[in-house]
Structure 1
Amino acid sequence: MRIALGLEYDGRAFCGWQSQPNGLSVQDTLETAIARLAGAPVRLHAAGRTDAGVHASLQVAHFDTGAVRPLTAWVRGVNSFLPPSIAVRWAREVDEAFHARFSATARHYRYLLLNHPVRSALLAGRVGWHHAPLDLAAMQAAAVLLLGEHDFSSFRSSECQAASPVKHLTRFEIARDGDLLRFDVSAGGFLHHMVRNLMGALIHIGKGAMPPDWMAELLALRDRTVAPPTFMPDGLYFAGVSYPAAFEIASEPCFRHYLV
């Protein structure tokens, strides 16, 4: 049978999602815990890979198993073998046509940014931080220019293995709640480091170093070397996946957070 899991994790303790020889990835940790309950090795397939230090408020993954267990066991039982930094939120038995990655129609990310002169000790590693005041309206105007289909080569990591740099952004919203800025972005897929590279450009615009229409220039140049550096991973959350209704997998992005 095929089981889909909804996952939540704090990425600070891991080298990213993807399995690594050192076994310190989110995938390795989860596969070890699931195998203990299943009584046999399993292979997890995720909706999207996250880098070291990047979190998830709703990652979706699936695995195949011959073990028959109640769905509650795939939640509470697996959680009993996991460190506090990873939690299975729900489990669903799904049709074998479902694939966590290839069935997805959209992926959702949220970046949380503390915009305050002094960094926070309590939020360290859970939010990004920029000390200088940021112009919300300027960043919002720049974000609008990213919507639709574009070649995002200027925001693509040199290590990116995607077949094409062309992606279609359907959402890029920025809001402020006191000193906390929320950046919500959705697309069918993302390039390696794409969201963090976009954050670097938006903050450059927000602090007044460049006007909002500079974002369109960066897109047109298709050159990573002309855009600002990759921003810190701390505040980035994989926030959900959308699937066709037929699979009956929760498709709304999970933008909740538990920050103090």
Structure 2
Amino acid sequence: MTDPGPWGAPPPPAKPAHAPPASWRRRLLWLVFVIGGGALAAILLHVAPWALRTGYDWTFVVVWGGFLLLMSLGLMTARRGDILKGVRHAAIWVAVVGLLAFGYLYRAELAEAPLRLRMALNVGAPVATGERELRVAQTEGGAFVVVGQVNGQPVLFMVDTGATDTVLSPADARRVGIDVEHLNYDQTAETANGLGSGAAWTADRLAVGGLELGAFPMVVNKAPMGGSLLGMSFLDELESFEVRDRTLILRWREGAGSHPLAPT
């Protein structure tokens, strides 16, 4: 008999753990899994027979089918704790693959997310989205407002396709430096409040985003207004304008206006 020494006898070596034999319930579930997988594959092949046309397609199905079959065989004899751990890992991978697939499917929308954020945070500020293209976000009230510059002074315009001219309110005209008291208000126009009077005036420079127009004719309204209007006299200088997804898109041709600038 071996002397156990001062610390007592060493513990007996642990017996290797063996996975329990598969129960009849697991075998039944595995059989249902195999039959269901085969039936699903047959239905998909019947619905879309063109899905498996090349040898590569069949190889893909055989490889992944064999992989899933081996995985299912392993689950039959695995311990409950190992199964739960495997399920957690599989869920993580499914979430990663799903996130990547979501990003791929909606890559165009995600690419425009920074642009939409810039327009939402800077209401009225035109955002350059191309060499000669601007976008303006719609306000909560349904209008399109854009910040332009008249002779270097910022003016908030409301885009109005029903207005023939580009109209400055008296307040904006004074801020630009116009002596509104000595203008000749000899023009009349039909407005929402009735017949209004205006005076012709020419701006040395009208800029909206990257488009600059020199010697631009405008009208200074005599009566107070809620804001200035960017009318068809400006929109006609563009190559096109359209509204899409609550966004006004302005495009102009190369060389438009007296002094076209590149978008900044």
With structure 1 as the length reference, what TM-score do the two structures score? 0.21
Could you state the TM-score of these two structures normalised by the residue count of structure 2?
0.21
If asked which structure has higher relative contact order (CA below 8 Å, sep 6+), I would say: 1
